[in-house]
Structure 1
């Protein structure tokens, strides 16, 4: 078996804002495996400033992985514990190599085009007008679950936007999720959660920055609004520490991005820990290209989670790879009439 890697820069169609800043590009890497004239491909996507494996030796570790591909998947996964995005890329590449069709990794009714995955529509931060425009577009496109990034513009303006949505659409029409990306301070978080809860919000992701375990545990205990952990899960590697974190904080939900938490294997470990504690979960992509998104979507479908997932990110880039993944009426479909065009 031979392995090589390629760097690829994804360009956003328009600058995409979170409370951590505005993104115009997204760096990603592909691992290509070759054996007996067959090829497999996997994506190693990192988010600068967020991924635990955003380190100076990242490319060196990719090179080491390709040079040691003969060790096999299980050994490599164990040696790459601190590089969750490479774990995800490897899992996908090996699955791709073994598959009859390198893009059909988890055959199901989803890949047969018979069923779809409900997803949330993502609204990025920006000016009030920009956010309102996005919301209208999502509703027109048939989404009944919308996720708004909050925490970067004036909070009262954000509340005004939520109020205007609720004036027009009831909780049975539109499910609203918000994602603060750790923007609230420990001092004002509870007051902000109380104000947000007036608009029948489904949940809030990561209201305060991670690693403030006691504060987050207390918030989860007294919040009027269900809290979902996201960034909090990054960099927690052992099963024992996963269990300890969930027992300590006891959130209502956790959100899993395979590129950030150790691929499918790491995500499934989190799911098992969560379900043992009656904590619910859903899956989100981490702004991968359609290669990574395809792997996550196919795997997610097999988990049979009926909640809207965070998998609607394929149309964000000008130079994404053409694929059968299509968003229609708030769901992600696999369109068998479309072909893959993967060309680096």
Structure 2
């Protein structure tokens, strides 16, 4: 078996804002496996400034992984515990190599195009007018669940945007999730949660910065509406540490991004613990290309969650890869009419 790795820069169609700043491009890496005239591809979806494996030795570890590919998937996954995005890339690449079609990793009613995955419509941070424009587009497109990133513009403006939605749509018509990306100050968080509560929100992701474990536990205990942990899960590698975190904070939900938490195996560990402690969960992509998004979507369908998932990021880039994934009426479908543009697999 031969393994190589390649860097690829994804270009945003429009600068996209979070509380950590504006993004115009997104770095990603691919691992290509070759054996017996077959190829497999896996995406290592690192997000600089956020991923636990955003380290100076990241490319060195990719090189080492390819040089030691003979160790096999299971041994490599264990060795790469502190490099969750590479763990995910390795899992995906081995599945891809073994599959008859390198992009059909988990055949199901989803990949047969007879079932779909409910997803939330993502509204990026920006000027109030831009956010309002996005909200209207998502509602017109048939989404019944939207997710707003908040925490970067004036809080009163964000409240007004939520007021705008609720003046037209009830909580029964549109589910609203908000994601603060850790933007709220510790001494302001509860007050802001109380102000947000008037809009009958489904949940808020990561209201305060990760690492404030006791403060987050206190918030989860007294919050007026559910809190979902997101960044809090990043960098928690062992099963024991994962269980200790959930026992301490007792969140209402956790958000699972396979590229950040050790791929399918790491995600399954979190799901197992969440269900043990009656904590809700859903899965989201982490700005991967369509190659990584495709793998996540196929696996997510098999988890049989009825909640809207966060898998609607495929149309963000100008130079993404043509693929069967298609968003229609707030659902993700695997269209039989659209084929993979798989030239990339054979060029690199």
TM-score range, shorter chain: over 0.9
Deviations 1:259-280 (A, max 9, x none): 0000000000000011000001
Q: Distance between the aligned counterparts of 1:2 and 1:159, measured in 2?
A: 54
Asked if structure 2 preserves the Cα contact closer than 8 Å seen for 1:181 and 1:205, the reply is: yes
Q: Deviations over 1:180-237 (max 9, x none)?
A: 0000011000000000010000000000000101000000000001000000000001
SS at match of 1:254: strand
Which residue of the partner structure matches residue 59 of structure 1?
Answer: 59
Kindly state the Cα deviation for residue 343 of structure 1 after the two structures are TM-superposed.
Answer: 3.3
Q: Please give the root-mean-square deviation of Cα atoms over the aligned residues, in Å.
A: 0.5
Q: For residues 152 and 343 of structure 2, what CA distance do their matches in structure 1 show?
A: 37
Aligned to 1:263: 263
Verify the 8 A CA contact 1:179 1:204 in the aligned structure 2. Answer: yes
d(CA) in 2 for partners of 1:6, 1:248: 40
TM-score for both structures, normalised by structure 1: 0.99
Kindly report which structure 2 residues correspond to 1:14-163, keeping only aligned pairs within 5 A, or say none.
14-163=14-163
Residue in 1 that maps onto 2:301:
301
- What CA distance in whole angstroms lies between the structure 2 residues aligned with 1:336 and 1:105? 16
Q: Which runs of 5+ in 2 are unaligned?
A: none
1:193-212 alignment runs, 5 A limit: 193-212=193-212
Q: Give the deviation of 1:338 after TM superposition.
A: 1.0
Q: Secondary structure at the match of 2:102?
A: coil
Cα distance in structure 2, aligned partners of 1:157 and 1:297: 34
Distance 2:319 2:238 in 1: 36
**Deviation of the 1:340 alpha carbon:** 0.3
Shift of 1:298: 0.1
Question: Using the alignment, how far apart are the partners of 1:7 and 1:261 within structure 2?
Answer: 21
Q: Aligned ranges for residues 212-251 of structure 1 at < 5 Å?
A: 212-251=212-251
Contact 1:321/1:343 (CA < 8 Å) preserved in 2? no
Distance 2:104 2:114 in 1: 14
Q: Distance in 2 between matches of 1:101 and 1:235?
A: 33
**Residue matched to 1:166:** 166
Q: Distance in 1 between the 2:95 and 2:314 partners?
A: 21
Aligned-partner SS, 1:134: helix
Instruction: Report the equivalent of 1:280.
Output: 280
> Could you give the per-residue CA deviations for residues 78-136 of structure 1, whole angstroms, max 9, x where no partner exists?
11000000000000000001111111100000000100000000000000000000000
* Structure 1: gaps of 5 or more residues: none
Question: Equivalent residue for 2:320?
Answer: 320
Q: TM-score, normalised by structure 2?
A: 0.98
Runs of 4+ in structure 1 over 2 Å off: none
SS in 1 for 2:160: helix
How far apart, CA to CA, are the structure 1 residues paired with 2:236 and 2:228? 16
Partner residue in 2 for 1:340:
340
Match of 1:2 in 2: 2
Shift of 1:342: 2.8
